[in-house]
Structures are given as structure tokens and as C-alpha cells.
């Protein structure tokens, strides 16, 4: 076991790195972890199950080597709407000209192409938009019936086989999960994935269906990438365990200027509910090819950290880029610099998180208040399910949080939680054992030294879920430090 890696990162926001051809080897996974990656995303849109199983096994082997719980998130692809094929593999849609999408399977040309999604023909109305190839081509519906959709090309250009179609102005009557997604979900559950990210969420029913299929295994993260999801965000958040701001598709289906305020709104709502929120897509996009990011990208990452997001995500930068380790290193440096800014605390607390009228919420708020009033080296949270850790993290306390849990599943799950350093350890049975173990673990994981004060938060009777009712201040002594060092 690499004892050096038992220490906390020194920052509270987490880094989620996507695994792909550039990073799936055990050697590169370890480099990314040591550079600062706290969790790994397995993108089910690409690759076979056998390859993903090897990746997950390598991450679990790294976990055993370092002695640190490592979070794995499996990201489902979701349904993909695409046009059919063209006679020459491509065609040119004339700007301001007419173009028809129909149900005819014959290869298309510059006037028409098949749209092999019959469910779309009955819902589209005049004036609604169709965005093709990530918005590079923009069509406006003139007339739609059961067989044809006649459009005007607001932005024309080259269109080729199987390009993607976005429909931002309508709720599409397709489930969030395809048959492939169901197979991928079953695989991810069988592999022990800690989080499942659900794509193409439009309705709370989408989240409920995925949760039913998960059967109580893992946590569910709803990706907010469709305008339809925004209008029902509260309902979706209530059913999900966390949210991901998927800015790629949001930026296609919405005007670009709408995405930044929407990102802040989603982060704010998730924080108020005490559920992890990940900001994703194009954070350090230029580092796919360049060893250094642009200044705008650095500011983008910094703004997400200032907003208090639980995690920031790297996509192609680590999955397929030329500089995966450097991308993680730079993201780690940006986050650390922001959190060391004297103005960070005021910025991250601009969202008021009112506690629910429960003992557990009141004590979580008290932890943050104490940490602001007196010097606190850390907050020790004893939890079985992770709910107490989420309550404390919602308050964004100044002190880091040492989460002690008898469940390795819980330890992995809280790996995306702001400020949480989770450790799987044996359960406690008494108050005295709690204090002794809390001090011992705090010293072992560098949460203080002689004279350091810590807060311990737990529930009595011990081992009873949802019973958080005890807050205790402890001070580390020189004798304890000497015993630990010896």
C-alpha cells in the first residue's frame, strides 16, 4: 500500500476523468490518479463490454494498491437520433433552400433524406427547429405530417451519412434508455459501478425507470442536456442522487449565451438539496492536442469551482487526448489555486442552504458554523449510508471532511462529494470507541497534528441509519501523535 496516497488531496472539489484509449492502461490510470483524479468515468457510448470490464478491473486493482476508495461512474449513451444515408455519402443543403426529412429508405440527395425515427413525425410542428451535426446545420419546420417534414434551411452546408439530429423544441416520445442502454446498465451494475449517469433525461419518469432497473445498486446521476429537463428540474432532482451539467448537448439545443446562467442554476439547485453536481464537457478542450489550456478554459474551470460544484469533469482530454496526465495536473492546480483564494469562501457561500428541520441537518449546519468560528483541522463524519456526509458537504464547511464508514460501497459513492475524504473502516460500538477511532484515523490520514481540534459527528445508537444526533469536539494530543508515529 502506498501510504503517501492516504493523505487528502488538499482541495475539496473532485476531478472526474474519462477513461478511453489514451488512458485505460493500468500505468496511465495510476498516473492520472496520482496527478489528482478522484474518480473515473467509463463512457458506454464507445467500446465493448470486455474492454470496459478490463478498465474497471484495472481501477479496482489501483484501489487495492493505493488503499484509497476510487469512484467509478458508468455513463449510458442514451438514444441517438440520426438521419439516413446519401447516394454519394454526402450532400449540400442550400442555405435558405428547402429540405425534406421523410420515411423513404432510399438514399438521400440535396433535397431530401430519410429520418428513421417514426416517432418524430407525429410531434413536430411548424416553426420548430431541427439541428443537424451538433448544430452545424439548422432547419426550421415549414410543414409536418405522418410521412414528411418539410424544412427551410436557416443554416445550410454539407450533410453526410448518419449525422446526429437534435430536436430542442419538443419533448421526444422516446424513453431515455434504449435496448443497448439496458444491457449497458445491467453490465455496469454487475461490475459494481458506484454511479450510473443517465443520458437524454427529459422527464422524471426517465429517472424513475432507471432507478427501478438498478435495483438499489449504485447511485443515479441525471445528465441535464435537454431543454425539456430544465422545466422539470426540481422533479428530476428529487428522484436522482446527483446531477451532471452536460454542457455539450445543452450548448447545441440552447443558444450558447443561455448555458452559463443555466449551469449556475443547476449547481445551485443541486447544492440546496445536498446532492452532488458535476460540471462537464469541454472544460480543457484544447488540451486534447495542446499541453497547455487556453486562458478562457482556465477561467471556465475556476468559475465552476467558485460556484461550489462538487466535481469537474474531463472528457476527451483524458479519454483520447495527447496529454491526459497534464490535463488532470492542470485541473488540480486550477482548483487548488481557487480554493486558496482569500475570497473563495465568500464566493462559494453565496448560495444559502437552509437546513431542513431535522436534528441531522441542524448538526451539519453547526459543524460549518463552528469551523468558521474556531480553527478546525477537520470534520470526522461516521456514516453508514453517506447521508450525513452529504448534509455536511451541503454547507461547504471551511474544514475538510474525513468520512469513516463500515461500507466500502458508501466510501466509493461519496468520492464525488465536495470535501469528502472517505475511508472504509470497521464499525464502532461505543462513544469511547468513536473518539479513539476518530483520532487515530485523523492522524493516519493527515487531518491534524498535536493540538489540532476536530469535530466528530455521529449517531447514537451506533449502527442505526438516519440517527445522526451527536456532535463532539476533540483535540489531538502529543501523546497520541507519538503513539501513532511509533
User: CA–CA separation, 166 vs 135, rounded Å?
Assistant: 8
Average pLDDT, rounded, for the chain: 93
In tens, the pLDDT along 160-172 reads 999 999 999 999 9
User: CA–CA separation, 112 vs 252, rounded Å?
Assistant: 23
pLDDT at position 1: 38
In tens, the pLDDT along 309-348 reads 999 999 999 999 999 999 999 999 999 999 999 999 999 9
pTM for this structure?
Answer: 0.93
* Confidence band, pLDDT 50/70/90 cuts, at residue 481: low
Residue 462, Cβ neighbours under 10 Å: how many? 17
301: Cβ contacts below 8 Å, ≥ 6 apart: 283, 284, 312, 331, 334, 335
In tens, the pLDDT along 64-73 reads 999 999 999 9
Domains and CATH numbers, the chain: 3-78+176-342 (3.20.20.60), 90-166 (2.40.33.10), 359-485 (3.40.1380.20)
Q: Is the bond into 286 cis (omega within 30 degrees of 0)?
A: no
In tens, the pLDDT along 210-269 reads 999 999 999 999 999 999 999 999 999 999 999 999 999 899 999 999 999 999 999 999
Percent over 70 (pLDDT), the chain: 96
* Confidence band, pLDDT 50/70/90 cuts, at residue 484: low
pLDDT at position 483: 66
pLDDT at position 97: 97
In tens, the pLDDT along 420-443 reads 999 999 988 888 999 999 999 999
pLDDT at position 4: 38
* Confidence band, pLDDT 50/70/90 cuts, at residue 306: very high
79-89: burial string, b at 16+ Cβ within 10 Å, e else? bebbbbbbeee
* Confidence band, pLDDT 50/70/90 cuts, at residue 373: very high
Give the CA distances from residue 221 to residues 151, 232, 416, 438, in Å, rounded to whole numbers and listed in that order.
Answer: 36, 15, 11, 31
* Confidence band, pLDDT 50/70/90 cuts, at residue 3: very low
pLDDT (average), residues 360-370: 93
In tens, the pLDDT along 136-159 reads 999 999 999 999 999 999 999 999
User: CA–CA separation, 107 vs 95, rounded Å?
Assistant: 21
pLDDT at position 459: 83
* Range of lowest pLDDT (329-333, 451-455, 467-471): 467-471
User: CA–CA separation, 428 vs 434, rounded Å?
Assistant: 6
* 5: pLDDT strictly greater than 70: no
pLDDT at position 2: 41
pLDDT at position 323: 98
Catalytic site positions: 41, 82, 223, 281
* Confidence band, pLDDT 50/70/90 cuts, at residue 467: confident
* Confidence band, pLDDT 50/70/90 cuts, at residue 354: confident
pLDDT (average), residues 13-41: 98
Spatial strand order in the sheet of 401-405: 420-424, 401-405, 378-382, 453-459, 468-475
* Confidence band, pLDDT 50/70/90 cuts, at residue 480: low
* Residue 182 grid coordinates: 439496458
* Confidence band, pLDDT 50/70/90 cuts, at residue 6: very low
Question: 62, 73 in Cβ contact below 8 A?
Answer: no
Question: 84, 113 in Cβ contact below 8 A?
Answer: yes
In tens, the pLDDT along 178-203 reads 999 999 999 999 999 999 999 999 99
Amino acid at each position: 500500500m502506498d501510504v503517501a496516497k492516504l493523505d487528502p488531496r488538499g482541495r475539496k472539489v473532485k476531478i472526474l476523468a474519462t477513461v478511453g484509449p489514451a488512458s485505460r492502461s493500468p500505468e496511465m490510470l495510476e498516473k492520472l490518479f496520482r496527478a489528482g483524479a478522484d474518480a473515473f468515468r467509463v463512457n458506454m457510448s464507445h467500446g465493448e463490454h470486455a474492454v470496459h470490464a478490463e478498465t474497471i478491473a484495472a481501477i479496482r486493482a489501483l484501489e487495492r494498491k493505493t488503499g484509497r476508495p476510487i469512484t467509478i461512474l458508468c455513463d449510458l449513451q442514451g438514444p441517438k437520433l440520426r438521419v439516413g444515408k446519401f447516394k454519394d455519402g454526402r450532400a449540400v443543403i442550400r442555405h435558405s433552400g428547402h429540405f425534406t426529412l421523410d420515411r423513404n429508405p432510399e438514399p438521400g440527395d440535396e433535397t431530401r433524406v430519410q429520418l428513421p425515427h417514426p416517432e418524430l413525425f407525429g410531434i413536430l410542428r411548424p416553426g420548430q427547429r431541427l439541428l443537424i451535426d451538433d448544430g452545424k446545420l439548422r432547419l426550421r419546420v415549414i410543414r409536418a405530417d405522418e410521412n414528411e417534414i418539410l424544412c427551410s434551411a436557416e443554416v445550410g452546408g454539407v450533410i453526410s451519412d448518419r449525422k446526429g439530429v437534435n430536436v430542442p423544441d419538443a419533448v421526444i416520445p422516446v424513453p431515455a434508455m434504449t435496448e443497448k442502454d439496458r444491457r449497458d446498465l445491467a453490465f455496469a451494475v454487475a461490475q459494481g459501478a458506484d454511479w450510473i449517469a443517465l443520458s437524454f433525461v427529459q422527464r422524471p419518469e426517465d429517472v424513475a425507470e432507471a432507478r427501478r432497473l438498478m435495483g438499489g445498486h449504485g447511485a443515479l446521476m441525471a445528465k441535464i442536456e435537454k431543454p425539456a429537463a430544465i422545466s422539470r428540474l426540481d422533479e428530476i432532482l428529487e428522484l436522482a442522487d446527483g446531477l451532471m451539467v452536460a454542457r455539450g448537448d445543452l450548448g447545441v439545443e440552447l443558444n450558447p449565451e443561455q448555458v452559463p446562467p443555466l449551469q449556475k442554476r443547476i449547481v445551485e439547485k443541486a447544492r440546496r438539496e445536498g446532492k452532488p453536481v458535476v460540471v462537464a464537457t469541454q472544460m480543457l478542450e484544447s488540451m486534447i492536442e495542446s499541453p497547455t489550456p487556453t486562458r478562457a478554459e482556465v477561467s471556465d474551470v475556476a468559475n465552476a469551482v467558485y460556484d461550489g460544484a462538487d466535481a469537474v469533469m474531463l472528457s476527451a482530454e483524458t479519454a483520447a487526448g495527447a496529454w491526459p496526465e497534464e490535463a488532470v495536473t492542470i485541473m488540480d492546480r486550477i482548483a487548488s489555486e481557487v480554493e486558496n483564494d482569500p475570497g473563495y469562501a465568500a464566493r462559494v457561500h453565496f448560495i444559502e442552504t437552509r437546513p431542513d428541520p431535522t436534528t441531522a441537518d441542524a448538526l451539519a449546519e453547526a459543524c460549518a458554523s463552528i469551523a468558521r468560528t474556531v480553527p478546525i483541522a477537520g470534520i470526522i463524519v461516521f456514516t453508514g449510508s453517506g447521508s450525513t456526509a452529504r448534509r455536511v458537504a451541503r454547507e461547504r464547511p471551511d474544514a475538510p471532511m474525513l468520512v469513516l464508514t463500515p461500507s466500502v460501497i458508501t466510501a466509493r459513492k461519496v468520492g464525488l462529494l465536495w470535501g469528502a475524504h472517505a475511508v472504509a473502516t470497521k464499525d464502532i460500538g461505543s462513544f469511547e470507541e468513536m473518539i479513539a477511532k476518530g483520532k487515530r484515523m485523523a492522524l493516519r490520514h493527515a487531518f491534524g497534528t498535536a493540538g489540532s481540534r476536530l469535530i466528530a459527528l455521529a449517531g447514537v445508537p451506533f449502527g442505526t441509519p438516519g440517527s445522526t444526533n451527536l456532535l463532539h469536539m476533540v483535540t489531538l494530543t502529543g501523546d497520541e501523535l507519538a503513539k501513532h508515529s511509533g
